[in-house]
Chains A and B, each alone.
Chain A
């Protein structure tokens, strides 16, 4: 930590400068704790009405109450299930389709403008149609999350595949690789790390559609709980729901990052 007179280590604020693990965590902790402290200060100061901003303490006790009497775990479980299913269904279709769009120009011409067109349509607006076509059971909630996630995901997958350097492809061609071999042995392995990142980012987007999805005749789930709390003006429960979604997202994100390090050790080498 101490600065030696002769050490030429770049300073903390140099552009893209290095940072030790320890300092990183110190800064991360500050970034998380300061807003919480500010929240606590504002809420307990009495400036703001409790309905507008409940104190951290009451959010905590509301969460405990929810856990003990209102089946919080079931709400979390069903929400995680809906988001994961909607996202996974997206991925199952978007990965092969994006690969084709990023690889073959005719497929790109056929599908990319169409996808660009659809992805600007708001997922919420599809609710009536989804209810009409799919009904009001689980499938409809998953469908909303799918609609919100899929079209962005396809385009990102296609872009990941297109970003494989052509020298990698051409080198394989001059070694006699067939089209299938290039896809399997060059395009896929080369794009994989970027694809996993795309999956991580789109998982985050899928979560942002949860509340929208649970507008559709739901009677359970975190999003539904938030909507119901709104009706009774239980601001502390709204806070609890939002924070829980954020925490779940944080955990999922870290799991993806861990998977990235485990799956692609060659990307995380210190050269």
Chain B
């Protein structure tokens, strides 16, 4: 870490009165007046009811979507489009099926080779990093395999390694484990925490799994829908070095309950559950 970074306390990501309206015959206000600072080397998770704008906010920070008001500053610069300082991990289908695992991981290297005059030592170091990432992800024997030969969990590990390859300052993840089973998820959680400690990056992580949000995040940001806005920011009281047992502690469970309840309140799904109850009661009566 260089000196300037230590002195300046400016946040790594600064979102100021951000708004996003999807134009169209029926315009959608996806986000309204979002204010959020993410510090350097902080792990922030975003939760909220479906359709509340989590992905939209993440994609705006990643530069994949444009905002219609306010501003986003990442690493001191107002963002305009995507860049290699903000890597993104998607839920699905982002690996390149025609490249094997190690070439997928090295993909960002191929981009830069075209532009920079690299010495062979640089290339050497890069391939060392690709191998190191492969090991970190627990896939050392899979270098030559193609994505179609990997399980979903392995594919996501490769996607994460590929995103980490260019040493991004910011890692943006949109439900990266959403399609994985519970056991694989737990393994991935500890892996991503390990990566976070090792790489010292800043992570913004979208999920609909509250347990995941608390276990991984230092802060959990809850968005409310229609229009998408920040409802509550929860500070997670657990330090580094979290372990799976944590999920069974009183404190953890209480927090999970509180957040879940709040999501339910903000989502306005109350009437639906009432309806369901009435329906099942009616069905029960019909049987008798």
Residues of A within 8 A of B (CB): 165, 167-168, 170-178, 181, 185-186, 189-190, 192, 264, 266-267, 269, 271
Contact = CB atoms under 8 A, between A and B. Distances in A.
14 contacts: A167-B92, A167-B93, A170-B82, A170-B88, A174-B62, A174-B82, A174-B86, A175-B166, A176-B83, A181-B114, A185-B111, A189-B96, A266-B98, A271-B148
Interface in B64-119: 64, 81-84, 86-88, 90, 92-98, 100, 107-108, 110-112, 114
B108 A176 contact: yes
A97 to B, nearest CB: 23
Contacts of A181: 111, 114
B96 A190 contact: yes
B17 interface: no
B148 to A, nearest CB: 5
Interface residues of B, number: 35
Contact of A269 (B87, B146, B163): B146
A171 B149 contact: no
A175 B64 CA distance: 12
Nearest to A165: B93
Contacts, number: 84
B162 interface: yes
Contacts of B84: 174-176
The 3 closest A-B pairs by CB, nearest first: A176-B84, A167-B94, A173-B82
A266 B97 contact: yes
A176 B111 contact: yes
Contact of A175 (B63, B100, B107): B107
Contacts of B108: 175-176
Contacts of B146: 266, 269
Contacts of B83: 174, 176
A165 B94 CA distance: 8
B94 to A, nearest CB: 4
B88 A171 contact: yes
A174 B93 contact: no
Contacts of A165: 92-94
Nearest to A178: B111
